[in-house]
Amino acid sequence: MPFLPDSSDSLEKAEVLQSQSEPVEDASAPPPAKWYNWFEPGTSPQEKKLIIKMDFFLMTYMVISWFLKYLDQTNISNAYVSGMQKDLGFNQNQLSWFNTYFNIGIIIGSIPATICAGYFRPHYYLPLMDLAWSLSVLFMYKAKNAQTIFALRFLVGLFESAANPCCHYMIGCWYKKREIMRRSNFFVLAGIIGQATSSYIQSGLIDTMNNKDGLPAWRWLFIIDAVIGLPVVLFGFFFLPDLPQNTKAFWLNDWERKRVVERLNEDGRVNHKLEWSLKYLVPVLKSWQLWAFSIGYSFWCLCAGNYMLQFFELYLQSLKIYSIPYVNNFPTLLSGVNFIVMFTTGVICDLTGRRDIVCFSVGIIVLIGFIITAKAPVSSIPLRKAGYILTGAYGCYTPILAGWCNIVCEKNPILRAVAIPTMIVVGQIVSTPYQQNVFPSSEAPQYKSTNGFYYAIAFTICLFVWTGVAIPFLERYFKKRDEVEFNVGHKANNEEAEDEAANEEE
């Protein structure tokens, strides 16, 4: 039996649906936003002040926190090519195992972490996770063997598992649909900056801190990363807000607290305290959003784009013609492409809503990069460099998929809280054994015997077809189906009301 909405609000909802299918020209409607406008047209000065506050306190914490997480993720590969491998006597496959143990921590922690963020106060929970993360990173400077690093990389991944899904969830809780994509992009852009910064920090440490107090430069890298994280923990404790419906953030006045909730209601978004129960499990598991975005993110992980900076460094190191600073620094051009594409696509998605076209177009660029790395000989240095750099366009898929998922799950906060971490977990589950077997460090830089880059080509095609064609089709199909079911329910309610009225007249 279809869902029968309450007759008191059925007419209003039906009129909304009709207005969506038959748009009416509104002369008083504000003009569409320009790409350089941070605020939507018609935003009042009071509301602009509110949004600026949200951006400063909420986004500052999340951006710096994610910057440090990516700084560490890149630190491990920079340390590996900057002396760790030689000092600790590693063989060529250790780096792949460092990635594997880190991913296992992410897999185990992501879904519980997001549930905890919706249940406990985020301004306590997230900084505590950051503190545990900083300590785990710090202890890596003392590591004397691979087994110690394996354990610490697992803990780093476990405590880091809260950062990505929880921050995307918080963005979805605080911002309107037209504001989400750009904030999601800025959040992920911080990681790209951290990725590039790590290389320059390592190069600077080699020049200034190598063997200072008896420690090689690669050990100082982990100390600095951990120390930088401590002020972020304090910032989170004092300034990070909780969810809009229960926040007590001192930097919001009473009007602003009410206005945050009103903005979301005006945007048609459901945002209330999460109540976890097994009765919600079946609807979540049956939702198209959970599986569509998990499949899309899995294709993204299987492209191995997230490891291309690491692969680029290993390629340059294998040539044995470049200095360690060059091997660390030159691959940051890949991060530069990532930054430009991510910023541009975030603006385009916010202004046009055409995430499908963006995903398809970027996929073509990434595909060209992988074709070059697969086909060009190792000796074709300029061509292979160009191929690696082109694959840097891959990064925009993470904020697009997370922001997209936030938007299409707007009516169900529990689904929204579960879908994003599930997307990340499923992606890590399928990609962890994949990168270990298809891209082992011992086969770098060409991965010929495992056909690594040919697999990347195949999954890149799957990625841009799925995100550019399949997800938009599913979104339109289920939206239309829900509208039909609503209209059927509305008609049934009207007939029931007419029958009751006729019976009363008799």
Number of domains in the chain: 1
Tell me the mean pLDDT in the region 280-303: 91
How deeply is 377 buried, as exposed, middle or buried, from its count of CB atoms within 10 A (0-12, 13-18, 19+)? exposed
| Cis peptide bond prior to 445, omega within 30° of 0 | yes
Q: Is the pLDDT of residue 5 over 50?
A: no
Is 448 inside a domain boundary? Answer: yes
Q: Is residue 252 within a helix (H) or strand (E), and if so which, with residue range?
A: none
Is 408 inside a domain boundary? Answer: yes
Q: Among residues 367, 371, 305, 298, which one has the least CA distance to residue 335?
A: 305
pLDDT single digits (tens) 128-140 = 999 999 999 999 9
Is 227 inside a domain boundary? Answer: yes
Tally of CB atoms within 10 A around 38: 12
Q: Is residue 413 within a helix (H) or strand (E), and if so which, with residue range?
A: helix 413-438
Q: State whether residue 212 is helix, strand or coil.
A: strand
pLDDT single digits (tens) 11-40 = 334 333 334 433 333 434 445 555 556 777
Q: Is the pLDDT of residue 274 over 90?
A: no
Is 171 inside a domain boundary? Answer: yes
d(CA 217, CA 202): 7
Q: State whether residue 267 is helix, strand or coil.
A: coil
Is 39 inside a domain boundary? Answer: no
Is 67 inside a domain boundary? Answer: yes
How deeply is 223 buried, as exposed, middle or buried, from its count of CB atoms within 10 A (0-12, 13-18, 19+)? middle
Is 81 inside a domain boundary? Answer: yes
What amino acid occupies position 251?
A: W
Is 129 inside a domain boundary? Answer: yes
Give the confidence band of 75 by pLDDT, cuts at 50, 70, 90.
Answer: confident
Half-sphere exposure of 453 (CA within 13 A, CB side): 25
pTM (two decimals):
0.76
Tell me the mean pLDDT in the region 431-444: 87
Domain containing 434: what range? 44-241+252-267+278-500
Q: Is residue 210 within a helix (H) or strand (E), and if so which, with residue range?
A: none
CATH, residue 457: 1.20.1250.20
d(CA 210, CA 218): 8
d(CA 198, CA 208): 15
Region of residue 83 (phi > 0: left; psi between -120 and 50: alpha; otherwise: beta): left
Q: Could you tell me if 443 and 357 are in contact, meaning their C-beta atoms sit under 8 angstroms apart?
A: no
